[in-house]
Amino acid sequence: MKNKRCIVTGGCGFIGSALVRHLVLEEKVKVLVVDNLTYAGVPESLKEAGLDVDDLPPRGEILMPEEGPGLLIADICDTEAMARAFREFRPDTIFHLAAESHVDRSIDGPGEFIRTNVMGTASLLQVSLDWWREHPSFVFQHISTDEVYGSLGEEGFFTENTPYSPHSPYSASKAASDHLVRAWHDTYALPVRITNCSNNYGPYHFPEKLIPLVILNCLDGKSIPVYGAGANVRDWLYVDDHVKALCLVNEKGRDGETYNVGGHNEKTNLEVVKTVCAILDDLRPRADGASYESLITYVKDRPGHDLRYAIDPTKLMTELGWKPSQNFETGIRKTVEWYLSNEWWWRPIREKRYSGERLGKG
């Protein structure tokens, strides 16, 4: 990544902010964050990388300080704003992470997912194509999800050749964006790389998602909702391991290729919830002496809830030499410890943006 200039869309989100922190603090590259600052865009996630959250630029104006990441608050569907960002920042690559990403919210309001994830990706692809024709070393990197593959049975893994079979408005919109990226490569020869990852977890995770929701509900003494019997299985990937994979793919990956990123950490949702409860029992015991497990409440399952996801990351590991540094046991404890130590970050979100209410009832 040395000397590259990188645009990161969705850089104030969970995975995006982790990538920006890594690029700025570890890779020492120049970064422009493009984020629309919708409900899940949290500029405070970039304070560690040097963003001055008390002096954010007006919408549509590019902030480009000498140190730390730059910021453009804009909608990726605004093609003119995106083209201006390319002209002014002059990127060598773009990491495209901007997306509506919560399955439950896609059930309640699919239109915004189609607009941002499909139309926004198309907008960026066209701007990138125009830029690449003048700057042939440019690379478009698209970050996607394992949910595009649908649901697995009790055995087997998703590979890069698994047929797409999305079951929610969210996964369908991401599948469509993946197809668009491939189409721009196959039709126009735009250099692209696609990654599909398993469930991420770690610091700065917006509290609508399972793990931070469980942690914060425990700390607030609220019930912990578990869908159905909690038997749905997910493969968990520590977010810092994911962003290192993204940089490897950008640096060494082959144009037009897909790379699956997974942690080989399959857990049922109930196992995840009980693990978080046990760690909190150890680190922050309840005043009444009861286990946090007593807060678990089983609720009606999510519509179209896929049974199992599991990624085979062999291609990424053998071709590019990636391997995760965290297993679930080490990563989940680090995650719980981070939330216990960083109430400054999550408490305002919990009070002003999302308090833990049930979403996605259909």
pLDDT tens sequence across 90-123: 999 999 999 999 899 999 999 999 999 999 999 9
- Region 165-194: what's the mean pLDDT? 98
* Domain extent for 32: 5-202+236-263+308-328
* CB contact at 8 A, 309 and 234: yes
Domain presence at residue 209: no
- What CATH number is associated with residue 51? 3.40.50.720
* CB contact at 8 A, 135 and 129: no
Torsion (CA) 17, 19, 21, 23 in degrees, nearest 10: -150
Would the pLDDT of 296 be above 70? Answer: yes
Structure confidence at residue 310 (pLDDT): 95
User: What would the two tokens of residue 182 be?
Assistant: 């491939």
Is the full-model pTM beyond 0.85?
Answer: yes
Q: Band the pLDDT of 362: cuts 50, 70, 90.
A: low
Would the pLDDT of 360 be above 80? Answer: no
Number of independent structural domains in the chain: 1
Q: Band the pLDDT of 1: cuts 50, 70, 90.
A: confident
Domain presence at residue 355: no
Please give the DSSP secondary-structure letter assigned to residue 43.
Answer: G
User: From the CB of residue 296, how many other CB atoms can be counted at a distance below 10 Å?
Assistant: 18
Q: pLDDT, tens digit, for every residue of 308-353?
A: 999 999 999 999 999 999 999 999 999 999 999 999 999 999 999 9
Domain presence at residue 276: no
With pLDDT > 70 as the criterion, what percentage of the chain qualifies?
Answer: 99
Structure confidence at residue 309 (pLDDT): 94
Would the pLDDT of 27 be above 80? Answer: yes
Q: Please list the active-site residues.
A: 146-147, 170
Strands (E), the chain: 5-9, 30-35, 62-63, 70-73, 93-96, 139-145, 192-197, 199-201, 224-227, 233-238, 257-261, 266-268, 296-299
Would the pLDDT of 159 be above 80? Answer: yes
Q: pLDDT, tens digit, for every residue of 259-287?
A: 999 999 999 999 999 999 999 999 999 99
Structure confidence at residue 64 (pLDDT): 95
Domain presence at residue 208: no
DSSP 3-state of 69: coil
- Region 23-40: what's the mean pLDDT? 97
Measured between alpha carbons, how far is 154 from 122 in angstroms, rounded to an integer?
36
- Region 65-83: what's the mean pLDDT? 97
Would the pLDDT of 361 be above 80? Answer: no
Q: Band the pLDDT of 38: cuts 50, 70, 90.
A: very high
Domain presence at residue 346: no
Domain presence at residue 226: no
Q: Band the pLDDT of 357: cuts 50, 70, 90.
A: confident
Measured between alpha carbons, how far is 259 from 161 in angstroms, rounded to an integer?
10
Domain presence at residue 225: no
Domain presence at residue 220: no
